[in-house]
């Protein structure tokens, strides 16, 4: 037996079944239970690679976790964590999610995990990151949004592989007021739900004043793995209009529960997701559909559209933070629409060096998207662009747009 799940099972002690498969168990989900710690005999799980402990009343990351020789992925969302001991992090740690807890500091050992690639820390009380993070040279994705950081974590921008970075909702962040066309809630007739994500629910709607079909995103209000919904709203408003951006029609006023909501253009059904989100194995990289085959013309159209859009965002003082194929929709001609601003950041208030560093990281994420396109039929010219994006001195988005 390689996988076991006891999700939402009302447990406060481990079933003996877990230890019956101690030699083979690789994936264990104990989310939604009543665990406050794990027993010492947990070290018997020598083959365990992935551990899920979200929604358990743990105040300290169980230290026994740090003794598991093959453990790569640790997820404890929405617990009561306020302490992570120096020896609680496994040596082979690759993916750590501690979203929505009460952590004020993290151990120096975090930066000394050479395989650490993905780090989700949004919704804590962190005032600073460990100084050792400058050693986390394999880190590609980090979420530190909705914390108590007093200064921009400048050292992260020196990491050679950093590509996806979200920091909105911290005390050092600027929060500009952004005007938007007000649209009354009563002027909208909602229909079926089109999709639901961590930050909100998107429904098809009809505008009573014009009869137009639109999409309405109602935000949930709670912190997500990306940060606070209000920061997503602000970034959407700052982004403005662009042909490769889902058009924003206005901001809802008068929601009966006081929720934030935006009215967006309805994406035609001819558009489909370019890729699927990362899985456990790919970690930070999207999983491309095996049946997706792109012509050279389609791939070039996608690449040019995305680079044009992201350059537009940076010029307007916004970094996307989550530039991925799974956040990009395309039609048969290769026209791209980029969405999901949950991890977006406002650049206002950052000095020129920080802005340049943020752009270098985002250019690297664009390189990953190009790499995904190359796996599905893109022309060799995009390989040269990808390699430039992944170099130690990558071009700006303006340069990429000029040469695409």
Q: Are residues 218 and 251 in the same domain?
A: yes
The yes-or-no verdict on residue 15 having pLDDT over 70 is yes
Q: Answer whether residue 106 is part of any domain.
A: no
Q: Are residues 187 and 287 in the same domain?
A: no
The CATH number of the domain where 360 resides is what? 1.10.510.10
Average per-residue pLDDT for the chain: 96
Mean pLDDT within 164-170:
98
pLDDT of 372: 98
pLDDT band, residue 250 (cuts 50/70/90): very high
Q: Answer whether residue 42 is part of any domain.
A: no
pLDDT band, residue 177 (cuts 50/70/90): confident
The CATH number of the domain where 237 resides is what? 3.30.200.20
pLDDT of 221: 79
Q: Answer whether residue 20 is part of any domain.
A: no
The yes-or-no verdict on residue 132 having pLDDT over 90 is yes
The yes-or-no verdict on residue 334 having pLDDT over 60 is yes
H/E run at residue 28: strand 27-29
Using a CB cutoff of 8 Å and minimum separation of 24, what contacts does 154-162 make? 154/354, 154/357, 155/129, 155/131, 156/129, 157/354, 157/357, 157/358, 157/360, 157/361, 158/134, 158/357, 159/133, 159/134, 160/392, 161/137, 161/364, 162/361, 162/364
Number of continuous H segments (helices) and E segments (strands) in the chain: 6, 19
Q: Are residues 196 and 301 in the same domain?
A: no
Q: Are residues 257 and 340 in the same domain?
A: no
pLDDT band, residue 193 (cuts 50/70/90): very high
* Number of domain units in the chain: 2
- The answer to whether 8 and 33 have CB atoms below 8 angstroms apart is yes
Last residue of a domain, one of 265, 281, 303: 265
Q: Are residues 314 and 210 in the same domain?
A: no
Q: Are residues 217 and 288 in the same domain?
A: no
Q: Answer whether residue 12 is part of any domain.
A: no
Mean pLDDT within 167-194:
95
Q: Answer whether residue 77 is part of any domain.
A: no
Q: Are residues 387 and 280 in the same domain?
A: yes
Distance, CA of 245 to CA of 8 (rounded, Å): 39
Listed range (83-87, 106-110, 130-134, 340-344) with the worst mean pLDDT: 340-344
pLDDT of 403: 65
Distance, CA of 8 to CA of 132 (rounded, Å): 36
Mean pLDDT within 168-172:
97
% the chain with pLDDT above 90: 93
pLDDT band, residue 239 (cuts 50/70/90): very high
Q: Are residues 234 and 292 in the same domain?
A: no
Mean pLDDT within 376-404:
92
Residue-number span of the structural domain to which 188 is assigned = 182-265
Q: Answer whether residue 134 is part of any domain.
A: no
Q: Are residues 379 and 282 in the same domain?
A: yes
Q: Are residues 257 and 316 in the same domain?
A: no
Last residue of a domain, one of 231, 265, 299: 265
Q: Are residues 354 and 234 in the same domain?
A: no
User: For 28-86, what is each residue's pLDDT tens digit?
Assistant: 999 999 999 999 999 999 999 999 999 999 999 999 999 999 999 999 999 999 999 99
The yes-or-no verdict on residue 220 having pLDDT over 90 is no
Q: Answer whether residue 68 is part of any domain.
A: no
Last residue of a domain, one of 220, 245, 265: 265
Q: Are residues 279 and 383 in the same domain?
A: yes
- Its pTM stands at 0.96
Mean pLDDT within 393-403:
91
């Amino acid at each position: 037996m390689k996988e076991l799940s006891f999700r939402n099972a009302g447990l406060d002690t481990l079933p003996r079944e877990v230890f019956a498969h101690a030699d083979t168990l690789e994936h264990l989900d104990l989310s939604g239970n009543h665990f406050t710690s794990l027993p010492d005999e947990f070290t018997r799980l020598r083959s365990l690679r992935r551990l899920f402990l979200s929604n358990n009343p743990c105040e300290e990351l169980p230290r026994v976790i740090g003794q598991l020789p093959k453990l790569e992925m640790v997820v404890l969302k929405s617990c009561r964590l306020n302490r992570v001991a120096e020896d609680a992090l496994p040596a082979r740690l690759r993916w750590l999610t501690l979203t929505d807890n009460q952590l004020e500091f993290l151990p120096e050992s975090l930066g000394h995990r050479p395989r650490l690639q993905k780090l989700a820390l949004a919704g804590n009380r962190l005032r600073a990151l460990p100084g050792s993070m400058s050693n986390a040279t394999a880190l590609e994705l980090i979420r530190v949004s909705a914390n108590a950081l007093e200064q921009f974590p400048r050292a992260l921008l020196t990491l050679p592989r950093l590509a996806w970075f979200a920091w909105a909702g911290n005390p050092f962040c600027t929060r500009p007021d952004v005007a938007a066309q007000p649209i009354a809630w009563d002027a909208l007739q909602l229909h079926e739900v089109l999709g639901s994500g961590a930050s909100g629910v998107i429904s098809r709607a009809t505008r009573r004043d014009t009869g137009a079909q639109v999409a309405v995103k109602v935000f949930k209000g709670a912190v997500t793995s990306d940060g606070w919904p209000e920061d997503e709203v602000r970034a959407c408003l700052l982004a403005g209009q662009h042909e490769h951006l889902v058009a924003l029609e206005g901001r809802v006023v008068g929601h009966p529960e006081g929720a934030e909501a935006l009215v967006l253009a309805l994406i035609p059904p001819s558009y489909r997701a370019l890729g699927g989100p990362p899985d456990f194995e790919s970690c930070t990289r999207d999983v491309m559909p095996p049946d997706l085959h792109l012509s050279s013309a389609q791939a070039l159209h996608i690449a040019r559209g995305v680079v044009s859009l992201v350059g537009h965002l940076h010029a307007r003082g916004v970094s996307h933070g989550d530039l991925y194929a799974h956040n990009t929709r395309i039609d048969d001609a290769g026209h791209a629409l980029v969405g999901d601003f949950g991890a977006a950041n406002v650049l206002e208030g950052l000095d020129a060096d920080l802005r340049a560093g943020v752009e270098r990281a985002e250019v690297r994420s664009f390189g990953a998207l190009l790499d995904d396109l190359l796996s599905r039929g893109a022309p060799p010219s995009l390989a040269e662009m990808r390699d430039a994006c992944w170099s130690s001195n990558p071009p700006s988005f303006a340069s990429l747009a000029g040469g695409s």
